[in-house]
Structure 1
């Protein structure tokens, strides 16, 4: 929402009061950081597409809730009994009451036992220590089997990191501005900022149990299998490595295409860190001692080049940058391991270790 912050604060006038968009989002540092979960689970990513609806002083809670429900259940045909929603339960320390307004709008669509209270951590959205913020309603989907649903109530699994009971859409109601002293003031107008994860939506609509089983990631995973000779679905650690590489090559490629090269500081360091994490997983768990991740850029460009033409126009740059980074870091890994082996051999010769 940073690009729209001035609209929320009333400092600028938007050309349109309603906007829909798709944003490429990196989520690897700061408050919203999922890096260590990426690849280990099946639904967090370093880069993901965020599908957004925005209202700048136009429609508010009722319309956002009505239209979200219509899209999910009537257009996308997601069964209503697969869905749960959360509302902000309030917070006494902030002097904020329960969002009964959102509750009343939701109960026109969904059974009340599927409308759950959420605390400040989950249901009061703010980007940082200061700025526009407000209560939110998350929409969660339960894609477990019927047998699993009979055994455990899905309501108990919402916001509990279950890989098949996950948040799919967040409706944020921008009402407040967080000041430097931590207090809240009302914004000049009320706004809507919704974000739906494209990859998670694809998982639900394609009837699979993992984001990596969708056509968003499968072309990359098949190419990794071909290059490395390691089949996806055989062992947990190899699967994690393949997921890490498939995810990370997307994040790094899009970042380079948008002009951010790997470096030792700032945003460039984040890109280098992501790429080196992928190299390390390939080196350790897929026995790849030579550069190979750069080869995936061709697959990615073919797959997404029509939607994101920068992947085509910048393909050679992306490929070459990744290859050079692989060569450099693999050399570092090999030198480090050789040094470690030498130190261990020396200690053994001295009888200091067995």
Structure 2
């Protein structure tokens, strides 16, 4: 079937001549043009239909609190449940940039945000899809062309992985994928096999699944062989793109059966890609975050953001910068998409995010009231061209943030006094009483991770076992 013609949608406010990234050492493209280059490459050169991002509130999927990947809105196609006459079922090649939130549920990055320089609750997932159209050869070829010819990433800094097989399941190595990469000129020592946990993707316990190939980037370069660092958690060699080849169906009995139609599902985090192309080592040093960090500094008047982590980050000041910058992006996107801070489900998670941000503003950055809401225009500056709904709803977002901040600040002060009084009465080396933590959690609305963090700053641990018992008792 012929590929669907490109659809002109207002994903970007301005469509300048197709940007090509300059070679390393030259001025870097801004994030907006990097996003635009991805979308236009697949839309205009390879016949994909450019679809808008789905809202981060899932539609018709009770298994998710938030949309957490680009493929969520295409699940009906993969599962074969899309109505044959629906517009979605007619698509063969699709590209988009999807707003994603990972906080709560199976995919939860909330408590890691701020502690390092790469975790986020909100991020954008660039993706291209084939629904029964092209497969491994064309998917890999297009990815390689985009990275090396459009984005001008040096080929010697890229490593690719493929599924190395699983004898227990009777699955052979994905030699087809390996051979495609070799035919594209990737050196053999940059084409690496990995087991099921790294290179086999499954939607769930049952359903479509298949091998995947990942593209990794070496930040150091210099002609070295960094193959030993791939998939080893090294900050120097990071995954930037995952291409999933759905060719099996996992049955209820655990068996894998071939799918009658093959699909391709790819995902590349915009934040990580921008970090690579702007020659940074931290996502927070890119222009996706620097306008927000500058606005935080202007609003609180303290020291500037330095990018420090761990023990070097005295007083957790830089951690606070990262938490607030990340969380205000999430608040803007979620509230705009109809998720408001509340008492259950996604709304409760968003309340935790807001209260975590308010606490860092107040007690670490010593910012005046209203700082968090005042950052909304900076978020709109960064994301508003790609997602115009953020501009339209900015005033409403600021109003909701301000009202929730006022409500929490009084509770925060009461909770801080309770913690101080309890610590003074504790014996040396004792754990913080679970009953007090439960009262903070239930009566004052303190998220557990916020309680843990406030105690951690005092060098005190919560009696987690006793706290979990209280949670279980309450659930009865």
In the other structure, the counterpart of 2:306 is 233
1:63 equivalent to 2:141? Answer no
- Residue from 261, 275, 295 that aligns with 1:203: 275
2:99 is the alignment partner of 1:20: no
Task: Show the counterpart of 1:8.
Answer: 78
Aligned position for 1:157: 229
Q: Residue 98 of structure 1 aligns to a residue in which SS?
A: coil
The answer on 1:168 being equivalent to 2:240 is: yes
How many angstroms does 1:196 deviate by?
Answer: 1.1
Q: Distance in 1 between matches of 2:133 and 2:330?
A: 34
CA contact (8 A) 1:41 1:163 kept: no
Are residues 1:101 and 2:176 paired?
Answer: yes
Gaps of 5+ in 2: 1-70, 428-476
Deviation at residue 166 of structure 1 after TM alignment = 1.0
Question: Aligned residues, how many?
Answer: 344
Q: Deviations over 1:288-319 (max 9, x none)?
A: 47342111012112332222111111111111
- How large is the RMSD of aligned CA atoms in angstroms? 2.1
Q: Which range is displaced more, 179-188 or 204-213?
A: 179-188
Distance in 2 between the 1:158 and 1:37 partners? 22
Give the Cα separation in 1 of the matches to 2:261 and 2:239. 27
Whole-Å Cα distance in 1 between the matches of residues 132 and 256 of structure 2? 19
2:36 aligns with: none
Q: Tell me, in whole angstroms, the C-alpha distance in 1 between the residues paired with 2:175 and 2:353.
A: 42
Q: Which runs of 5+ in 1 are unaligned?
A: 349-354
**What corresponds to 1:351 in structure 2?**
none
Residue 43 of structure 2 corresponds to none
Secondary structure at the aligned position of 2:304 is classed as coil
Q: 1:127 to 1:275 in 2, by over 3 A?
A: farther
Matching residue of 2:341: 262
Secondary structure at 1:318 match in 2: helix
Q: CA deviation at 1:50?
A: 0.7
* 3-state SS in 1 of match to 2:105: coil
Q: 1:77: how far off?
A: 0.6
8 Å contact from structure 2 (residues 299, 367) kept in 1: no
Given that residues 93 and 131 in structure 2 are in contact (C-alpha distance below 8 angstroms), is that contact kept between their aligned partners in structure 1?
Answer: yes
Q: Which region of structure 1 is more displaced relative to structure 2, 248-257 or 26-35?
A: 26-35
Cα distance in 1 for residues equivalent to 2:256 and 2:361: 47
The 1:143/1:327 distance shift into structure 2, 3 A limit, reads: same
What is the rounded CA distance, in whole Å, between the counterparts of 1:129 and 1:279 in structure 2?
Answer: 38
Q: Which residue of 2 aligns with 1:352?
A: none
Q: Which residue pairs with 1:110 in the alignment?
A: 186
Instruction: Return the structure number with greater strand share.
Output: 1
- Secondary structure class of the residue paired with 1:107: helix
Is residue 82 of structure 1 aligned with residue 157 of structure 2? yes
Q: Are residue 330 (structure 1) and residue 405 (structure 2) matched?
A: no
Match of 1:45 among 101, 109, 120: 120
CA shift for structure 1 position 5? 2.1
Q: TM-score of the superposition, structure 1-length normalised?
A: 0.90
| In structure 2, distance between residues paired with 1:94 and 1:29 | 32
